[in-house]
Chains A and B, each alone.
Chain A
Amino acid sequence: MSINRRQFLRRVGLVSALGLGGSFVITSLRGKKVEAASSVAEYETSKDALVAKHWAMVVDMSKFKTEEDFKKVVDSCVSIHNIPDIGNLKDEIKWIWEDDYEHTFSGGENEYLTESFKKLPFAVICNHCENPPCVKACPTGATFKRPDGIVDMDYHRCIGCRFCMGACPYGARSFNWRDPRPFIKKIDPDFPTRTQGVVEKCTFCVERLADGVMPACVEASNGGLIFGDLDDPNSEVRKIISTKYTIRRKVELGTQPSVYYLIGGGNNA
């Protein structure tokens, strides 16, 4: 019952052809089952959703003067986005916060700016840049720019490499060095928390825009934050930006921030 080399090779070839062919048949059958339902099913945006070509925000400096002005805006964000308060600067998570001149506008400033301007507190958030360096740096596509100009995060894809944090010139991104859940005052079950090892930041409340409501900070700001479509000549943000004096953070870097600071919005600022 001995076989020669030729017979052996022939049989080996036959068996491997059967095996390979069979696996192709099986995978194609399994694949079809998924497609069957998904080909008829459709995805669409909600009818209530607020849409724009380029979302932008104006920060009216005249409305941000006291601690209370900042606190109500920050708190509105913290409570709905399950942002933890870890209690030390290294682990701090922030989406919108108060910062001083040194950390916000320093760099390309006029040499003899008024001293009073340099002492103002500034409300800062992610600038949702038109040329976001964080998106270029992200190796997994976890952070991405939506067609409406919002730079969004997909935590599912974040591997925690923190390249985006290095790339962002505004320090708008925070890393979860530890599990944030124990540090969240009250978990809002309608919004996911994050896990240890992902980067997070302001998303211009995409989940609220999808439901047809303005971002939480805009609602809480009492007119201090104005939000709208920069591409629409009739929107409030566009009117302010084209008629009044506004500045943006670190324009010299070419990132084209979508957050504008309105100077002298009230009687004086």
Chain B
Amino acid sequence: MYKGGRIIASLIIFVAFLTFPFFYNMGKANAGPVNLTANIQKIANTQCVEPAEFMRANHMQLLNQWRNAYVRDGQTVYTNSQGEKFNIDLSTCIKCHSTGTESNPVGTINPATNPVGVSNPALNTSDQFCISCHNYVSVKPTCWSCHSETGGATK
């Protein structure tokens, strides 16, 4: 090969450069949710607004439907597939899924991004709500830039 040594050396440098982010972040960024399997099993039989299986796959779609129904159509009550009724309100979610801390003042609590959030075991069946999974998949929902956690600091 004409100038083979240089070509191969450059190729190696190029590939090293290309894969640098993967090696650099190895074992760091992709540290997944802690005890995810155990936590999922813990809540496996509890019922959210819809069955846990459905919620896990479609919670964002459901939230979108709720938002449109409440804001645009003025429909504030949701009847789930089992005929049970829920108020369309983020506080319906937060009743069970909460990562707020007492030290956080009202309005600054952000269960989606707050990394120091400690769950309240009395209210909460899972301390893995929002933050751990969403950080893991690098999804940053902006819900909490407007919505506050109900009850805020007192809860």
Contacts and interface: CB of A to CB of B under 8 A. Distances in A.
Contacts of A210: 74, 76
A156 interface: yes
A41 B149 contact: no
Which of A36, A49, A189 is the most central at the interface, judged by chain B CB atoms within 10 Å of its CB? A189
Contact of A193 (B69, B72, B80, B107): B107
Contact of A189 (B65, B81, B148): B148
Contacts of B107: 181, 184, 187, 189, 193
B146 interface: yes
B104 to A, nearest CB: 12
Contacts of B69: 43
Contacts of B62: 37-38
A234 B111 CA distance: 48
A3 interface: no
Given A46-B76, A189-B148, A194-B146, A41 B61 contact: no
A152 to B, nearest CB: 7
Interface in B78-128: 78-81, 87-88, 91, 106-107
A190 B94 CA distance: 12
Contacts of B75: 43-45
Given A38-B65, A189-B150, A44 B77 contact: yes
A170 interface: no
A33 interface: yes
A144 interface: yes
Which of B50, B51, B149 is the most central at the interface, judged by chain A CB atoms within 10 Å of its CB? B50
Given A41-B79, A49-B76, A156-B71, A189 B149 contact: yes
B50 A37 contact: yes
Interface size class of B (residues with CB under 8 A): 35 or more
Contacts of A254: none
Nearest to B152: A189
B58 interface: yes
Given A155-B146, A187-B148, A41 B81 contact: yes
A189 B54 CA distance: 28
A34 B58 contact: yes
A42 interface: yes
B25 interface: no
A181 B107 CA distance: 8
Contact of A41 (B50, B145, B147): B50
Interface of A: 33-34, 36-38, 40-46, 49, 144, 146, 148, 152, 154-156, 181, 184, 187, 189-190, 192-195, 206, 210
Given A41-B78, A46-B87, 7 more contacts: A41-B80, A152-B72, A154-B71, A181-B107, A184-B107, A187-B107, A189-B148
